[in-house]
Amino acid sequence: MPSVSTKGKNMPESPIRKLVPFAEKAYKANKTVYHLNIGQPDIKSPEIAMKAVSEHNLEVLAYTRSEGSEEYRKKISAYYHRNNIPAEANDIIVTTGGSEALLFAMGSIADVGDEIIIPEPFYANYNGFATASGISIVPVISKIEDNFALPPISEFEKLITPKTKAILICNPGNPTGYLYSKEEIQTLAEIVKKHDLFLVADEVYREFTYDGSKHYSILEEESLAQHGIIIDSVSKRYSMCGARIGCMVSRNKEVIATALKFAQARLSPPTFAQIASEAALETPQSYFDDVITEYQDRRNTLVKALKAIPGVTVGEPKGAFYCIVQLPVKNSDAFAQWLLEEFDDNGETIMVAPAAGFYSTQGVGLNQVRIAYVLNKESLIRAVEILKIALEKYKD
């Protein structure tokens, strides 16, 4: 019997998707499941993007250039300039989602056995991309008690070794909702320059900031021109997760030339989806104003309701649409499974993402879950009510 690879065996399961079989069981038992586990927004994709695809006049659905179509990259560059990010079309490689941008970035800057420092908890799939690339993630812990603020410089410097190639941040953060301040970005800039590292910033939630706070991109920091790499995506910005379009951005020419070779190996990002994404760039600001008001309202509703449950602690998200919630349970994996398999309240239950998979330190986050506020307010209120009832019934 031929055997699969060790790398394959080491690939982590997605903590966001691994409970799906139990959710299937819940559907079969006719339960309604409120999905708090996955960042699939319920917001409509911009009409202009959908129309561009339905009204296309292509006769051949051909490949585009490996780095993405020139027209699209020019328009993305204009979008970045509007956001104070001096990125030109040649600094951009269009990818199949932010996911592929992460793979290209890791492949372009680190060799097998190299290390990347990431504040944890972090987007769980970083574990998968690092495993696929043979890279070790070195976590620096940020804590719920500090609302997941950046750990002090000394914590990062303790972890830097000759194998360290980069620091990777997610800003605003999935799963914490943490938004890095300009000062924190400047602190990170000092560290990466001092130790000659890359700073990779996953900015796929750039637009989603609340309470009037503004996102500060790493490439707004001129001194990071050679060190900074942005990971981006249309998935959340335009609620176009299924388009599978993202990009990798760097003003470092060698990084882009290297990433381009990875892009050439997979030929081209999807053509229809680039048409939709190019049109989406014309989305009026009023779309974002409405969406951000909606998410901010949802966040307020969710956090207030969660705080009212005895024994529950919740971080205060300032951006994106997730929060980490600490529950009075020993093992949130078992609790999440129990919610789907054994519990219901009037035929309804909830699905949450156990948070341990968002940490790479073993044994941390076992009593935490990640909740995505991608449901309307009425559903969120009902979902939190179900959580409260479930916690009263659950025996660890």
Contacting positions for ligand PLP (CB under 6 A): 39, 97-99, 123, 170, 174, 202, 204, 233, 235, 241, 246
Structure tokens belonging to residue 279: 């049109």
- Name the DSSP letter for residue 364: S
Q: Which is nearer to ligand PLP, 116 or 305 (CB)?
A: 116
Q: Which is nearer to ligand PLP, 19 or 390 (CB)?
A: 19
Residues present in the chain in total: 396
Q: Which is nearer to ligand PLP, 66 or 235 (CB)?
A: 235
Pairing of strands 322-326, 368-372: antiparallel
Distance in Å, CB of 202 to ligand PLP, minimum: 5
Distance in Å, CB of 389 to ligand PLP, minimum: 29
Q: Which residues contact 318 (CB under 8 A, 6 or more apart)?
A: 172, 177, 178, 179, 209, 210, 211, 213
Distance in Å, CB of 15 to ligand PLP, minimum: 12
Find out whether 173 and 323 touch, Cβ atoms under 8 Å: no
Which regions of the chain does DSSP assign to beta strands (E)?
32-35, 92-95, 115-120, 136-141, 164-170, 198-202, 228-233, 246-249, 313-314, 322-326, 348-351, 353-354, 368-372
Distance in Å, CB of 97 to ligand PLP, minimum: 3
In angstroms, rounded to a whole number, what is the distance separating the alpha carbons of residues 266 and 358? 29
Q: Which is nearer to ligand PLP, 241 or 334 (CB)?
A: 241
Q: Which is nearer to ligand PLP, 114 or 202 (CB)?
A: 202
Q: Which is nearer to ligand PLP, 19 or 309 (CB)?
A: 19
Distance in Å, CB of 64 to ligand PLP, minimum: 18
In angstroms, rounded to a whole number, what is the distance separating the alpha carbons of residues 374 and 382? 14
CA 195 to chain centre: 26
57: nearest Cα among 267, 280, 272: 272
Q: Which is nearer to ligand PLP, 39 or 357 (CB)?
A: 39
In angstroms, rounded to a whole number, what is the distance separating the alpha carbons of residues 173 and 52? 31
Distance in Å, CB of 230 to ligand PLP, minimum: 11
Distance in Å, CB of 208 to ligand PLP, minimum: 11
Helix (H, G, I), strand (E, B) or coil at 367: coil
Q: Which is nearer to ligand PLP, 189 or 230 (CB)?
A: 230
Distance in Å, CB of 277 to ligand PLP, minimum: 11
Find out whether 46 and 283 touch, Cβ atoms under 8 Å: yes
Residue number, nearest CB to ligand PLP: 97
